[in-house]
Amino acid sequence: MSDQAEAPEILPELSKSATRLKREKLERVPWDHSGKHPGNRFFTWLLDLMFEYGNRFIFRRSENDQLPATKGGVIYVSTHINGLVDPMVITRVQDKRVISLGRHDLMTRPIIGWWARKFGSQPVLRKAEIEAGIVDAEYAKKINQRGMLTVSSCLAAGHSAVVMPEGKSHQDSQLHALRTGSPRSALAAAGIAFQRDQPLPVIQTVGLHWRTHYLVRTDCYVEFGPTIEVPQTYDVSSRESLSSGIWVEPSHEATISLRDEMFEKLSPLTPEAPDWETYRAWKLIANMQSNKAGKSINKLSEEIHETRKVRERFSGVDNSLIDSAKTAAKILNNNNLYANAIGPHNRLKTSSASEFTLGFLGLMMMIFSGLIAIPANLIQTTLAWILANNSDEGLDSRTTYFMLAGLFSPILFWWFPILITIILTSDGIITMDDFLLPILLFLLIHICSMIFIYGYDFWTDFMTSLRRRKLTNSSAGKELNNLLESIDLQLVALK
């Protein structure tokens, strides 16, 4: 198992947005050191609804473990490979008000920044911005301590926080070295809570899993791992200073100890593979083992846990089974197929008449619902596609743009076709129908949009079956089935 000392500590490449320091807007970010949440309650509630719709828009299947019960505040930590989608999927399953720490420019951008400030998010100026000369260390310290003390005070008051402790997004299959911001905030929160005679906060590790994280309509699974107790390490004088709104650093030893414990317990919830090729091989073996046991994997959560068993058995092992699995998984990946393309008999699934029927049904659903859904969603979806494919933010931000399209469609974009319809149908006389019509049109757009999405799912299933058929009839497909037969025999021998 990797440890913090061996984990890669790579500063992120700064995007254009991250290089734009807007001090005036950073100064106006709401903060509060009394324990009161700095966000607006109404807009927090509205954003929660938007998260729910955005989640339904970008994910086909969304699973999450039962939320662990806690008395005090909770700081949720996870790996960070999927941009703003990562904190969104954690936030939407909370039963407490959430406060977050995020990159400074997320609080100062148009539209997104306004919502982030209403949500109560706190900006962070990272080491990368300091070393690049974007900001001086003194100002970064001021903003960061203000934000961390706000988060700590909220945690002490029983709220929750979502923090990505790596301090950046990345595309690696292993956890990167953790920054000290989250353990420092947690320790400070414990000191404040102890001083105010409130329950001490805990750190909750979170595993975020995706079928393919940068694709729309993929599967998502939010896993809650081990809970870490946060110790109270401050003396009386320091606790009093923290409670009065003066930041006091926790001891270096306590910070490093808590950071290392976070790494140790969070790392197993990530793929923790040397590369994605190896991880896909483990997934293939997990599916084939389950098929042999007569219990095919149907959910992403099941696949994650079965793959973890394979990792524990074969991690660091280099043998013919892993080599064959890597080659077979590569053939599947090159044809845009997953390990679930393997049938119960550990051969490529054959196409069925039901897939053709559902594909035709999906096409009809898209055609008829698209008469309303496409005009209502064309602008934001096109914009998301352009930004996703031309952004300098990296692959991890791709789904973010589609998530934002889903978030803001109901409150910003759907009203344009609704307004045009009202203008075209209005006779100049205001009646009760003029008040009911916008509501009915809004519901109609929502229903048609969801029908279009489900139709798209049926259609993609049909296209997947065509890719399986094409692969089966190719030389690569014959090689794949030979590899699957070899893997199957080796799995029998390993029992």
Q: Which domain holds residue 148?
A: 17-269
For residue 429, the model assigns a pLDDT of 58
More confidently predicted of 360 and 320: 360
User: Is a pLDDT exceeding 60 seen at residue 338?
Assistant: yes
Report, as an integer, the average pLDDT of 264-284: 96
Residues 247 and 164 in one domain: yes
- Pairing state between β 218-229 and 202-210: antiparallel
Percent of the chain beyond pLDDT 90?
Answer: 62
The token pair at 265 is 């317990």
Helix, strand, coil percent content, the chain, rounded in steps of 5:
60, 10, 30
Same domain, 21 and 167: yes
Lowest mean pLDDT among 72-76, 292-296, 425-429: 425-429
User: What digits encode the pLDDT tens for the residues 41-64?
Assistant: 998 898 888 898 889 999 999 999
Give 412's DSSP letter: I
Same domain, 182 and 230: yes
440 pLDDT above the threshold of 70: yes
Phi-psi region of 477 (alpha: psi -120 to 50; beta: other; left: phi over 0): alpha
Tell whether 480 is covered by a domain: no
In a domain, 230, yes or no: yes
If you ran DSSP here, which 8-state letter would residue 398 be given? H
Judgement on whether residues 261 and 283 belong to the same structural domain of the protein: no
Alpha-carbon span 221 to 208, nearest angstrom: 6
Q: What pLDDT band is residue 434 in, cutting at 50, 70 and 90?
A: low
Domain-embedded: residue 482: no
Does residue 391 or residue 143 have the better pLDDT?
A: 143
Query: Do 68 and 196 share a domain, yes or no?
Result: yes
- Look at residues 305, 339, 373 and tell me which one is the last residue of a structural domain: 339
Separate counts of helices (H) and strands (E) for the chain: 17, 7
Q: What is the DSSP string of 162-195?
A: EE-TTSS----SSPPPPPSHHHHHHHHHHHHHHH
102 and 130 inside one domain: yes
20-46 residue pLDDT tens: 888 888 988 999 999 999 999 998 898
Select from 235, 269, 303 the last residue of a domain. 269
Whether 304 and 322 share a structural domain: yes
Would you say 339 and 280 are in contact if contact means Cβ atoms under 8 Å apart? yes
pLDDT band at 271 (very low <50, low <70, confident <90, very high): very high
- With respect to residue 11, please indicate whether it lies within any of the assigned structural domains: no
3 is a domain residue: no
Encoding tokens for residue 7? 């984990």
Q: Are residues 191 and 324 in the same domain?
A: no
In this prediction, residue 1 carries a pLDDT of 46
User: What average pLDDT does range 113-127 have in this prediction?
Assistant: 87
Tally Cβ neighbours within 10 Å of residue 131.
11
Task: Give residue 9's pLDDT band: very low, low, confident or very high (50, 70, 90).
Answer: low
Q: Is residue 495 part of a domain?
A: no
Mean pLDDT of 359-382: 95
400 and 317 belong to one structural domain: no
Q: Are residues 302 and 405 in the same domain?
A: no
Q: What is the mean pLDDT of residues 220-224?
A: 97
pLDDT at 319 over 50: yes
* 384 assigned to some structural domain: yes
Mean pLDDT of 235-243: 95
Whether residues 166 and 292 fall in one domain: no
Q: What confidence score (pLDDT) does residue 133 get?
A: 86
The count of other CB atoms within 10 Å of the CB of residue 197 is: 6
3-state DSSP call for residue 348?
A: strand
- In this structure, is residue 347 part of a structural domain? no
Q: CATH no. for residue 231?
A: 3.40.1130
SS (H, E, C) 89-124: HHHCCCCCCEEEEEEHHHHCCCCHHHHHHHHCCEEE
Look at residue 161 and tell me whether its pLDDT is greater than 90. yes
Q: 289 with 411, same domain?
A: no
- Listed residues 269, 302, 329: the one ending a domain: 269
d(CA 261, CA 54) in angstroms, rounded, equals 33
**Structurally, how many domains does the chain consist of?**
3
Q: Which helix (H) or strand (E) holds 60?
A: strand 59-64
Question: What average pLDDT does the chain have?
Answer: 90
